[in-house]
Structure 1
Amino acid sequence: MKHAILATLIFAFASTNAQTAWKLDKAHSQVNFMVNHMVFSEVAGTFKDFDATFNSTKDDFTDAKIEATIKTGSIDTQNEQRDGHLKKDDFLNVEQYPLITFKSTKIEKTGDDTYAITGTLTIRDVTKPVVMETAFKGSINDPWGNTRIAFKATTTINRFDFDVRWNKMLDTGGLVAGKDVNVILLMEFTKPKAG
């Protein structure tokens, strides 16, 4: 009898702490960015090839472990000439540095549905800490029995910190391309139906 009770308690504890591995739904996720152009305008772009892992044992995701990779060669700003320049050593140097990576180190709840996700971002082999201000957009069960969750995460990085330093000065003293890069991530994850 004691063994049966002990086994039940162990099973219950294990179930409570079971890790959930969420799968990124790439078709409904985006990695976007915006940079100032000529001081008064902005250029928007996206990376089309990326992946992420998201593992958590808690329903509030505060113990989640997140890792992401972005293929630098997939950059797209809707301008072939500009994209070609961005892929060269002046900017991303996609041949030598094919990946941008992110790895979370801490997740803190900042509100009912908001988080501060701290992690390390690596661009051109330079690694710096960043904080992603993140909003949980909700959870639903889709028509195929999967559980879906979605997040929107934003941060701003100084590209000079990652040795992405190309620029030209304007007559007015401003820069052709801004130093600050606004990053906007729209991420949707799924968990298959149990059984």
Structure 2
Amino acid sequence: MKKIALLFVATLFSVATFAQTQWNVDNMHSFLNFSVKHLGISFVDGRFDKYKGSFIGNPDNLENGKFNFSVDINSVNTSVEMRDNHLKTDDFFNAEKYPSMKFESTSIKKSGKDQYKLIGNLTIRDITKPVTFDLVYGGLLKDDGNGNTKLGFQASTTLNRFDFGVAYDPSGQAIAKDILINVNLEFTQVK
């Protein structure tokens, strides 16, 4: 009977440990990348270097979780300073007036083994639209070196930049309207 009681307490403790736990994004091991077709023949890749994000949920039941992200538009980086400065102007993001891009999830739906549809609202230039990411759950790991518990994901989607008021080159011939977003995320459990 004592063993059953101990097993019950251990089970409750492990469930409570991950029940709607907060996980903060590990910026050193996460990447917010984008790619856009240029002149119809090549691609320009870039990323955002400054962002905050969290996942609140249980890795054993991701569908009840919630993601929140805020991205600093001024941290856009395509490795070409002149282009980065242009992206910050009103032709594109207008970083002075709209300094951040935000994402808040509304649902997570399982679509296969470790595969999900992450649905939420994305706000760029104060325009909010629903978007769906293909989300891959990478797993859970206890980091023995630091004693932290880590959680990993990869998410991707394609956005029409015109939907968010990013309408420079309205013909889409020099800069395509569709932007591919690839996000690699590693989170650390908040202790």
Q: Which 4+ residue blocks in structure 1 deviate beyond 6 angstroms?
A: none
Higher-strand-fraction structure: 2
CA distance in 2, matches of 1:148, 1:55: 13
Match of 2:86 in 1: 85
- State the Cα distance separating 1:141 from its structure 2 match: 1.4
How do residues 10-159 of structure 1 correspond to structure 2 at under 5 angstroms?
12=12, 15=16, 18-57=19-58, 59-143=60-144, 144-159=146-161
SS, match of residue 63 in structure 2: coil
SS, match of residue 95 in structure 2: coil
| Number of equivalent positions | 180
SS, match of residue 27 in structure 1: helix
Counterpart AA for 1:187: L
Match of 2:162 in 1: 160
SS, match of residue 95 in structure 1: coil
Structure 1 vs Structure 2 CA RMSD: 2.1
Q: What stretches of structure 2 of length at least 5 have no aligned partner?
A: 1-7
> Identity of aligned pairs, percent?
42
Match of 1:184 in 2: 182
SS, match of residue 90 in structure 1: coil
Contact 2:22 2:55 in 1 (8 A): yes
Match of 1:3 in 2: none
- State the Cα distance separating 1:58 from its structure 2 match: 5.5
SS, match of residue 86 in structure 2: helix
Counterpart AA for 2:77: D
Contact 1:38 1:177 in 2 (8 A): yes
CA distance in 2, matches of 1:139, 1:18: 14
Deviations along 1:106-140, one digit per CA (max 9) or x if unpaired, are 10011110110000000000000000101111222
Structure with higher Rg: it is 1
Counterpart AA for 1:190: T
TM-score (norm 1): 0.86
Say if 1:168 and 1:19 are closer, same or farther in 2 by CA, change over 3 A.
closer
- State the Cα distance separating 1:19 from its structure 2 match: 2.0
